[in-house]
Structure 1
Amino acid sequence: MTTVICPYCFDRAPASRLPYRCLMMATGVRGGTPCDAEPDDVWAGFMGPSVPPSRRLRGPVFAAPRTLAALRGSATRQPCPGCGVASSVRVCRRCHSDFPSEYCDQDSRIIALVGAKASGKSTYVSVLVNELRGRVGREYNISLPAMGDETQRRDREMAEDLYERLQLPDTTRPAAMGFNDPLLYRLSVPRRGRYARSSRHTTLVFFDAAGEDLKSAEAMARYTQYLAAADGIILLVDPLQMGSVRDSGATADGPPLPAVETSPQQIAADLAAQLRSHGRSVSRGRVTTPMAVAVTKTDALRSLLGAHSPLLRNATHAGGEQDDDDRLAVHEELRSLLSDWDSGVLCRQLENDFAELSYFGLSALGAPPPADAPADAPKSGPQPLRVEDPLLWLLGRRGLIQVRKSRPASRDRAERADA
């Protein structure tokens, strides 16, 4: 029986137990009279005070009938008991959020994006999706359509703003201003093997926590359920927040330095505390949720990198496989750089708190924004470096993509951080 995780409130429920929402259509079999909209206080209460009264009126929610087909999960449409019109719109039993079509028919992978304000989370997602549909998608034969009206709308807006208008995305609004919808994508990857003729399908759920909500453990508690349900966490670390990098003069020709926000080690400590409180830990108190630590804006660090640094080029992904030796080279270089920048404080924090982690370096834009227009993308448009690496590592761990390994497992320091 398929278990569905709500991408909005992260409630888990068997697919057969999910209620439906009436379509309020005028073609019912009982005389053609549609149901009237009614206030959905459950959904409005979850969404927060920003929901206007007119949007609270929605199609009535009704329970799935206890038929054999429904119990087996094979029934995709059910008739509304009020008007008789069959509906395929399923809703979460806890928050009454509507699920996109096909969401309940496949596994989901919830990816948590976490980082301080101005670390580039929104820009990162927009560029990552574009790369998964383009350069990276060609190598792995990936398709990645957006799921649901809201994600499709935001997906178009993100692409138009960044790639046509060359404008960086707006910052994520804090939770106090209302709920931030996740981005839902249907990831399809061909199965490998001599006799494979089908594809694997999974739903990628990207949930972006506002930087303002990571300034304290109390504020981060709003995201506890989201973090506990995550299959993997991508922690974006802005190197321009680190004192030694700011003082190095490496970014003297770029835009003004961002204001100092919550330190990455404090965010990592609060993350681990929240996850431990939900039982996501192993012996010695280390959290089992895989952690991809992604240092952003590496384009601003060129003067601090060697001429042959792997951070200066994209991975090849030859044959539709992630090269684990390449990942390890990046991991070791980033670990060394981070240790130099803050005397190893962040690395020790992460390696003491997380059982599985890997370090990555990426640049969503490939160059700093213009010094006179810090809210714009470079005039040449985004030329990203390695934005896909953290997600591919998480997908590879779940067997969704092929990983080419050549080193003995005992030498893989990236996947196990031994205390």
Structure 2
Amino acid sequence: MTTVTCPYCFTRASAARLPYRCQMMPSGVRGAPCGPVRDDVWAGFTGPAAPPAARMRGPVFNAPRSVGRVLGTSAGSVPCPKCGVGTPVRVCGTCHNDLPSDYCDQDSRIIALVGAKASGKSTYVSVLVNELNQRVGQAYHASLAAMGASTQRRDKEMAEDLYERLRLPDATRPAALGFSDPLLYRLSLPRRGRPGGGTRHTTLVFFDAAGEDLADAEAMDRYTRYLSAADGIIMLVDPLQLGSVRDRLPVHDGPPLPAVEAPPEQIAADLATQLRAHGRRGARGRVSTPIAVAVTKTDMLGALLDPHSPLLANAPHQGGVYDDVDRLAVHEEMRSLLADWDSGTLLRRLELDFAEVSLFGLSALGAPPPADAPADAPKSGPRPVRVEDPLLWLLSRRGLLRVRGAGKGRTT
């Protein structure tokens, strides 16, 4: 029996027991069509951001135990008990969010994306999606498709802003203003070791927590149920938030340095506390969820890097194989840098709290924003470096990619 994890509230349930939502077709099979009804369950979950008119939605109903093909239904659909018209739209029984039609039919991997305000999470996701569909997708013979109207709409808007208008994404909405929808994608990859042997489809769920919420341990509790369900965590660290890095950067005419937000070591500590309290305690009290810690904006760190640093060029991805030797070279480089920056406070916190950590360095834009327009992308457009590395490591751990090199395990 297939078990589904809701990508909105992360409640687990049997796919066969999920309720359905009537689509309110103009003509009913049994007479009058259904009309909208108040869905207070959905509105309560969505919060104050849900306008009153949006609370009127198609009726939710439970499917009978045995569903046969009847007039007005099609394969994969269930007839509404009132109007008789078949609907394929399944909803979460806990939060009443609609689930994409094929979400319940395939494996899923939940990736939690965390980081303080201004760490570049929204820009990172937009560039990552583009790279997975272009350069990285070509290397691994993979494709990425947005699932559901919300993700498709957000992808389109953000791609137009970033790649056509050269505008950076707005900050993620904090939880106090309502729930931000997760981003859902279907990742298609060739099956490992079986040339021409078919395709494996995996759902990727990206949940982006606002920096304002991660700055406070009490507010962060709202996200615990999402984080505790994650198969992996990508934590973005803005090096320009670290005092020692800010002090060492040469004076330049670029964009102003960002305001200092929540210290990354505090975010890591709060994250570990919440996860341990919700059953993610592993060996020796460390959190068992693997975490990819990525230092962003490496384009700003040129003066602090060796000219031959592996952080300055993309991974090879030769033959569609994940190169774990390359990952370890990046990891050791970042470990050395973090041990030096701010007396290694963040590195020690990670080593004490997490059982499996890998360190990364990346640049989503490839160059700083223009000095006279800090909300814009570089005039040449995004030229990312290593944005895919954290996600590919998490996927390789789950056996979704062929791996060359050192292998799995704790790396810090």
TM-score range, shorter chain: over 0.9
Following the alignment from structure 1 to structure 2, what is the Cα–Cα distance between the partners of residues 337 and 172? 29
Confirm or deny: 8 A CA contact 1:166 1:378 kept in the other structure: yes
Q: Residue 17 of structure 2 aligns with which residue?
A: 17
1:381 equivalenced with 2:381 (yes/no): yes
Following the alignment from structure 1 to structure 2, what is the Cα–Cα distance between the partners of residues 337 and 84? 64
TM-score by length of 1: 0.95
Letter in 1 for 2:273: A
Following the alignment from structure 1 to structure 2, what is the Cα–Cα distance between the partners of residues 168 and 29? 49
| SS state at 1:224 partner | helix
Following the alignment from structure 2 to structure 1, what is the Cα–Cα distance between the partners of residues 13 and 392? 28
Q: Residue 278 of structure 1 aligns with which residue?
A: 278
Superposition pairs for residues 155-194 of structure 1, below 5 Å?
Answer: 155-194=155-194
Q: Residue 325 of structure 1 aligns with which residue?
A: 325
Q: Residue 390 of structure 1 aligns with which residue?
A: 390
> 1:28, CA displacement in angstroms?
2.4
Which ranges of structure 2 fall in alignment gaps of 5 or more residues? none
Q: Residue 62 of structure 1 aligns with which residue?
A: 61
Following the alignment from structure 1 to structure 2, what is the Cα–Cα distance between the partners of residues 278 and 2? 24
Q: Residue 339 of structure 1 aligns with which residue?
A: 339
Q: Residue 44 of structure 2 aligns with which residue?
A: 45
Following the alignment from structure 2 to structure 1, what is the Cα–Cα distance between the partners of residues 44 and 379? 43
| SS state at 2:257 partner | coil
Per-residue CA deviations over 1:68-100 (Å, capped at 9, x if unaligned) read 789xxx972110000000000000000000001
Following the alignment from structure 1 to structure 2, what is the Cα–Cα distance between the partners of residues 99 and 22? 13
Superposition pairs for residues 232-311 of structure 1, below 5 Å?
Answer: 232-250=232-250, 252-311=252-311
Change (3 A) 1:251 1:393: farther
Following the alignment from structure 2 to structure 1, what is the Cα–Cα distance between the partners of residues 60 and 34? 11
Confirm or deny: 8 A CA contact 2:6 2:92 kept in the other structure: yes
Following the alignment from structure 1 to structure 2, what is the Cα–Cα distance between the partners of residues 251 and 146? 42
Following the alignment from structure 1 to structure 2, what is the Cα–Cα distance between the partners of residues 251 and 41? 55
> 1:251, CA displacement in angstroms?
6.0
Following the alignment from structure 1 to structure 2, what is the Cα–Cα distance between the partners of residues 295 and 87? 45
Following the alignment from structure 1 to structure 2, what is the Cα–Cα distance between the partners of residues 250 and 395? 37
| SS state at 1:233 partner | strand
> 1:249, CA displacement in angstroms?
2.5
| SS state at 2:275 partner | helix
Larger mean CA deviation between 189-198 and 332-341 belongs to: 189-198
Q: Residue 115 of structure 1 aligns with which residue?
A: 115
1:218 equivalenced with 2:218 (yes/no): yes
Change (3 A) 1:193 1:251: farther
Confirm or deny: 8 A CA contact 1:69 1:75 kept in the other structure: no
Letter in 1 for 2:48: P
> 1:307, CA displacement in angstroms?
1.2
| SS state at 1:344 partner | helix
TM-score by length of 2: 0.97
Identity within the alignment, %: 74
Per-residue CA deviations over 1:208-248 (Å, capped at 9, x if unaligned) read 10000011110100100000000000000000001111011
Superposition pairs for residues 79-90 of structure 1, below 5 Å?
Answer: 79-90=79-90
Following the alignment from structure 1 to structure 2, what is the Cα–Cα distance between the partners of residues 177 and 226? 18
Following the alignment from structure 2 to structure 1, what is the Cα–Cα distance between the partners of residues 323 and 97? 39
Confirm or deny: 8 A CA contact 2:249 2:303 kept in the other structure: no
> 1:67, CA displacement in angstroms?
1.2
Confirm or deny: 8 A CA contact 2:67 2:78 kept in the other structure: no
Following the alignment from structure 2 to structure 1, what is the Cα–Cα distance between the partners of residues 349 and 381? 36
Following the alignment from structure 1 to structure 2, what is the Cα–Cα distance between the partners of residues 56 and 230? 29
Per-residue CA deviations over 1:351-406 (Å, capped at 9, x if unaligned) read 1111111000000000000011000000000000000000000000001111111x
> 1:332, CA displacement in angstroms?
0.1
> 1:197, CA displacement in angstroms?
2.0
Per-residue CA deviations over 1:271-314 (Å, capped at 9, x if unaligned) read 00000011101132101100000000000001111111000100
Confirm or deny: 8 A CA contact 1:251 1:300 kept in the other structure: no
| SS state at 1:343 partner | helix
Q: Residue 410 of structure 2 aligns with which residue?
A: 416
Change (3 A) 1:195 1:252: closer
Aligned length: 408
Q: Residue 26 of structure 1 aligns with which residue?
A: 26
Letter in 2 for 1:54: A
Which ranges of structure 1 fall in alignment gaps of 5 or more residues? none
Q: Residue 367 of structure 1 aligns with which residue?
A: 367
Confirm or deny: 8 A CA contact 1:251 1:301 kept in the other structure: no
Q: RMSD over aligned Cα, in angstroms?
A: 1.5
Q: Residue 5 of structure 1 aligns with which residue?
A: 5
Change (3 A) 1:359 1:251: farther
> 1:250, CA displacement in angstroms?
3.7
Following the alignment from structure 1 to structure 2, what is the Cα–Cα distance between the partners of residues 251 and 132? 35
> 1:50, CA displacement in angstroms?
1.6
Q: Residue 103 of structure 1 aligns with which residue?
A: 103
> 1:253, CA displacement in angstroms?
3.2
Change (3 A) 1:54 1:345: same
Confirm or deny: 8 A CA contact 1:351 1:417 kept in the other structure: no
